[in-house]
Amino acid sequence: MLRPSNYHSGDILTFDRAYIDYAKFEEMTEAGVTYVTKMKKNLRYETLGDMMYMTSEGRIEHRVRQVGFTKRTKEARN
Q: For residue 24, which of 46, 48, 33 has the smallest C-alpha distance?
A: 33
Q: What is the per-residue pLDDT across 58-71, written as a single tens digit (0 to 9) for each?
A: 999 998 989 888 88
Please list the residues that pair with 14 across neighbouring strands: 36
DSSP structural state of residue 40: P
Element (H, E) at 20: none
Q: Is pTM beyond 0.85 here? A: no
DSSP structural state of residue 58: S
Determine the 3-state secondary structure of 13 from DSSP.
strand
What sign results for the dihedral spanned by CA atoms 59, 48, 73, 37? positive
Q: What is the per-residue pLDDT across 42-56, written as a single tens digit (0 to 9) for each?
A: 888 899 999 999 999
